[in-house]
Chains A and B, each alone.
Chain A
Amino acid sequence: MDMQRIILDVRGLSREFANGKVKAVDNIDIAVGRGEIVSILGPSGCGKTTTMRMIAGLDQPTSGTINLCGNDVTDLPPYRRNIGLVFQSFAIFPHMTVQQNVAFGLKMQRVALDEIESRVSAALDLVQLPLSKFGDRRSDELSGGQLQRVALARTLVTEPALVLFDEPMAALDRRLRDHMAVELRAIQKQLGIAAIYVTHDQETATTMSDRVVIMNSGRILQDGTPEDIYLKPADRFVCEFLGEVNILGIRDIIQTDGDRQLVRTDNNIDLWATGRRTHAKPGMLVAFRPEQALLHANDPGHGIEAKIESVQFRNGLHRWKVDISGASVIVHSTTVDRRIAQGERAWLTIDADKSRIVAP
């Protein structure tokens, strides 16, 4: 990313509590480019919310710098940062109408009254809440989805350099959430704004964003595209956080061929696997997703012998539970070979670049 395009550049950001005993955020770097939406994904307590609050200026970092459009804003109060924040609770001012809510930021910026009127109207059109119909309503007269639209319009109308989203979908039901995610993404692309989306929901994070940053215990574990972090996870936590995964321990390395290695697992299976950056060492893990393994009725030549334990059919997927030399693994398939029946033998194959060597 060249310097012109970088909107937010966070370097070495840390936040300690209780005199350094607790490191909520531990030396993290995040960059967000123009028109890019980056998700910070992690379980609750991983430091993602603290990170977001520090970027917004609502919390002070213990160390590190926050650069916005080339200016150091680390010590600026939130009201001088020009960073928008859409709250989880939406935080619509209950004593103001929809119009007054959306106009609030512009009034704070002392924008001329007629300009406020036209910009508020345009912002409400953007989120499909026409001013004529919704302008005079108050927060208690709006649904959850409408509240979110008001919150979005109120943030976007001030044209912030960066917009932060704090789990704004968490309060909505599943269907509305999917719908709003698509819409939010469309608006973000249309306006070309830079955004950070903080969430613990991996599904929303991967569908919403250009890049996903995985956090745990105050650290960034991996920063990459949604495909990258799913298919090429850095460690066990990332693997497991992004969905179902089979994990086997590595006992020995038999052969190395470029970034591919033939490894022997703890339960004496030899298989080819690919590492992300480092080569495998005993004690590391090999991981593969259930949909990336294939089951065969006859040995295709390099298959791993497997015993079928059970099969379930759910949502168009057959979920096989199979035993490979004492380890139970899950395999998904969309079609079934009639010859593979419960209790019988089958052979399992995994592409070398789909079984990944990951840190424990």
Chain B
Amino acid sequence: MRASFSVTGHAGLEWWIIRITCFIILTVMLAPILMVLVISFTDGDTLQFPPPGFSMRWYLEVWAFLTGPDADLVRLVESLLISVKIAGATAVVTVLAGVPASYALVRYRFFGKTLIEELLGLPVVFPAVVLGISLLVLFSATKTDFGVWQIILAHSIIGLPFLMRNCMTSMKGIDVALEEAAKTLGASPVRVFHKIILPLASGGIASGAILVFILSFNEFTLSYFLYTVDVFPLPIWLFQQANTSFSPAVFAVSSLIVAINVLAVLVLDWLVAVRKQPDRQD
């Protein structure tokens, strides 16, 4: 790589400009997260940077939140579980709705198809605040309370396009002849979907589902409008804590959230790698 760049002076200069730009961008992006990580290991009582010394005391504090006698009072466990529950349910809902819808969009022509495809891009740019207000108004005006399902529904609305994009990309890659071959071999449309489409699109479906899980797990704006005393997702908990007691424990929890996200991304990468393996052998 470098040998080819050093052939001319200009190419070498460009190479350095690219490296420095990347370095600056990555630093700006990662600095706040790194700061959170560093401060979470402080041995002081306040949010000092750089920390006076390092310890695990705030993680022990968080551990006490999770397991100690005050656990019920702090409600961290409850928030964590509800967030996982919401994210899991959102992933399941979007898969159930999005996979058949993706297949229909990829394989069939019907009235309004282009409109639906355009609408799929909307939630990506649609302001979440507006959606949050609309849903809040809708639920209060109709005097309905679906509890945790309100947030699951809201998250599904913004998560569905992400799932469907992943899903449609992998479905578009499936040769129609494979489906037709299965049909001539005696497979009904339902079995073609089950035996051919689902296995071949599984990578896209799984990565889409993980993406939706992360999206829902981290989602703040919609949750803020729709949370109740009983349904109190982790980002809301963190926000409340940060507002009331600005202790390094908040940063320790944040670090844990970052860890969960990194883990999900790793699983996603692994899925993509597994999906690409057959191509590599070609």
- Interface on A for B, CB 8 Å cutoff? 56-58, 77-81, 83-85, 87-89, 91, 93-95, 104-105, 108-109, 138, 140-141, 154-155, 158
> Do B187 and A85 touch across chains, with their CB atoms under 8 A apart?
no
> Do B281 and A79 touch across chains, with their CB atoms under 8 A apart?
no
B71: interface (CB < 8 Å)? no
Contact A79 B188, CB 8 Å, known A93-B196, A95-B200, A140-B282: yes
Shortest CB distance B128–A (Å): 38
> Do A87 and B182 touch across chains, with their CB atoms under 8 A apart?
no
With A and B bound together, what is the CA distance between A80 and B191 in angstroms? 13
Q: Residue A154 contacts which of B175, B185, B191, B196 (CB distance < 8 angstroms)?
A: B185
Contacts of B182 in A (CB 8 A): 93, 104, 108
Chain A residue at minimum C-beta to C-beta distance from B181: A91
With A and B bound together, what is the CA distance between A94 and B177 in angstroms? 12
> Do B180 and A89 touch across chains, with their CB atoms under 8 A apart?
no
Contacts of A158 in B (CB 8 A): 185-186
Q: Which 5 interchain pairs have the tightest Cβ spacing? A: A108-B186, A105-B185, A91-B181, A91-B177, A78-B183
How many residues of B are in contact with the other chain, CB < 8 A?
A: 20
Q: Can you list 29 pairs linking A and B with CB atoms under 8 Å apart?
A: A56-B184, A77-B188, A78-B184, A79-B183, A79-B185, A79-B187, A81-B184, A84-B184, A84-B185, A85-B180, A85-B181, A87-B177, A87-B180, A88-B177, A91-B175, A91-B180, A93-B182, A94-B178, A104-B187, A104-B195, A105-B185, A108-B186, A108-B187, A109-B186, A138-B278, A140-B281, A140-B282, A141-B281, A155-B185
With A and B bound together, what is the CA distance between A94 and B180 in angstroms? 14
Q: Residue A108 contacts which of B191, B199, B278, B281 (CB distance < 8 angstroms)?
A: B191
With A and B bound together, what is the CA distance between A104 and B187 in angstroms? 9
With A and B bound together, what is the CA distance between A89 and B178 in angstroms? 9
- A/B pair count, beta carbons within 8 Å: 69
Contacts of A58 in B (CB 8 A): 180, 183-184
> Do A83 and B184 touch across chains, with their CB atoms under 8 A apart?
yes
Residues B141-176 near A (CB distance < 8 A): 175
Q: Mostly helix, strand, loop or mixed at chain B's interface?
A: helix
With A and B bound together, what is the CA distance between A253 and B107 in angstroms? 59
> Do B178 and A93 touch across chains, with their CB atoms under 8 A apart?
yes
Shortest CB distance B180–A (Å): 5
Shortest CB distance B264–A (Å): 25
Shortest CB distance A17–B (Å): 13
Residues 181-216 of B, flagged 1 when their CB comes within 8 A of A and 0 if not, give 111111110010001100110000000000000000
Chain A residue at minimum C-beta to C-beta distance from B196: A93
Chain A residue at minimum C-beta to C-beta distance from B187: A108
Contacts of A56 in B (CB 8 A): 180, 184
Contacts of A155 in B (CB 8 A): 184-185
With A and B bound together, what is the CA distance between A87 and B178 in angstroms? 9
Shortest CB distance A275–B (Å): 42
Shortest CB distance B197–A (Å): 11
Contacts of A108 in B (CB 8 A): 182, 185-187, 191
Contacts of B187 in A (CB 8 A): 79, 104, 108
Chain B residue at minimum C-beta to C-beta distance from A83: B184
Contacts of B196 in A (CB 8 A): 93
Contact A89 B177, CB 8 Å, known A79-B183, A84-B184, A104-B185: yes
> Do A77 and B186 touch across chains, with their CB atoms under 8 A apart?
no
Shortest CB distance A109–B (Å): 5
